[in-house]
Amino acid sequence: MVYQFRATIPESKIFFRVYEIKGEMTLFKFNSFIVDDLGFSPDQMVLYEGYDEAGTFCSEYGLIDLGDGAMDTVTFDSVVQRGETELHYLFDLRNDRYIRLVLEGEAPFSPLRVYPCLIDEKGQNPDQFRVRYEEAPPVPKLHPFRDSSAIGDLDDDLDDEDEDDEDADDKIFDGEELYDEDEDKD
C-alpha cells in the first residue's frame, strides 16, 4: 500500500511538500529521506508524535523505544492501523519545531517510482535550527580587565603602584638587600 502525506510547518503559510510513502517503510527510513530532502543535519535527535483524527496525542516514536515503539521498528502501515492520521516530525527539539505530516489518502502504486518520493512542493526548505532573538541569552560581560568601565579603576590602581615605585627608585639592590642610595653600605 502507498500513502500520500502532506507536510506543512505551522510557522510557515507557504511551505508544503507532498510525499508518497510505501506502507512497509519504517519511520527511521523516512527520517533519512526527509533529512536528505530538506538538507537537515543527519546527526540530530528527532522524534515522531502520532495524533488521531480528533488531534489527540496518541504515541511517541523515538530513536529508542519510548513505550510505543522505536522508529526503526514502526512502519507507516502500523501507524495508520492505530488510527494515527497525523504525525509531527520534531526536527528541532529545543525549540519544539516540527513538520506536520497529515495523511491525505492512498495513492496507486507505480512500478516506475522509487518510494518514498516527492510529488509536489512549494516554499523553501526550513532552517533546521533557528535562534529566537527575543529568547537569546544575554551577552556576557567582558573580562574585568577588558571591560571599559574597569579600565578607569585599573588606571587608578596602576597610578598608586607608580607612587610606591618612586620610593623604590631611590633604593639600590646589591644582590643581597635593598639599601638607600644616600646611605653608605658597610
List the pLDDT tens digit at each of the 186 positions of the chain. 999 999 999 888 899 999 999 999 999 999 999 999 888 888 888 999 999 999 999 999 999 998 899 999 999 999 999 999 999 999 888 888 899 999 999 999 999 999 999 999 998 877 776 644 445 555 555 555 555 555 555 555 555 555 555 555 556 555 566 556 555 555
Quickly name the fold that domain 2-133 has. 3.10.290
Domain residue spans in the chain? 2-133, 138-186
Q: CB under 8 Å to 80, separation ≥6 — which residues?
A: 3, 23, 103
pTM attached to this predicted model: 0.66
CA distance 9 to 130: 14
